[in-house]
Amino acid sequence: MSTASRPYPIVQDLIESFANWVKHRREMNEMRQLDRADFDRIANDLRIAPDDLEELVRHGKHSADELPKMLEQLGISAESLGRAQPLLLRDMERVCALCGHKGRCDHDLAEGTAAENYHGYCGNASTLDSLERADIAPR
Q: What is the dihedral of CA 129, 134, 135, 136, to 10 degrees?
A: -100
Burial of 86 (0-12, 13-18, 19+ CB in 10 A): exposed
| Per-residue confidence in pLDDT tens, the chain, 139 aa | 555 566 677 777 777 777 777 776 777 777 777 788 888 888 888 788 888 887 777 777 778 899 999 999 999 999 999 999 998 998 999 899 989 999 999 999 999 999 999 999 999 999 999 987 666 544 4
Residues 124, 96 contacting (CB under 8 angstroms):
yes
Q: Please list the alpha-helical segments (H only) found in the chain.
A: 9-33, 36-45, 50-59, 66-73, 78-84, 86-97, 102-111, 114-117, 125-134
- What pLDDT, on a 0 to 100 scale, did the predictor assign at position 5? 63
Amino acid at the residue 138: P
- What pLDDT, on a 0 to 100 scale, did the predictor assign at position 40? 86
- What pLDDT, on a 0 to 100 scale, did the predictor assign at position 47? 82
- What pLDDT, on a 0 to 100 scale, did the predictor assign at position 101? 95
